[in-house]
Amino acid sequence: VNIRAARRYWGLMVRNRGDEERRYEPFKSAHWLTYVGPSLLEELGGLDAARDVAGDDVDVLEAGGGVVLRAGEEPPVGDINRKAPDIEPMRRVNAFIRPKRISEWSKHYSNLFFTDIDECNEWLTRLDP
Q: What pLDDT does residue 51 have?
A: 95
DSSP state of 48: H
Kindly give the pairing relationship between strand 58-63 and strand 66-71: antiparallel
Per-residue pLDDT tens over the stretch 62-121: 998 999 999 999 888 888 888 888 899 999 999 999 999 887 776 655 556 667 778 778
Q: What pLDDT does residue 15 have?
A: 60
Centre a 10 Å sphere on the Cβ of residue 25 and count the other Cβ atoms it contains: 11
Centre a 10 Å sphere on the Cβ of residue 1 and count the other Cβ atoms it contains: 7
Higher pLDDT, 122 or 99: 99
23 pLDDT exceeds 60?
Answer: no
Nearest to 14 by CA among 93, 121, 94, 99: 121
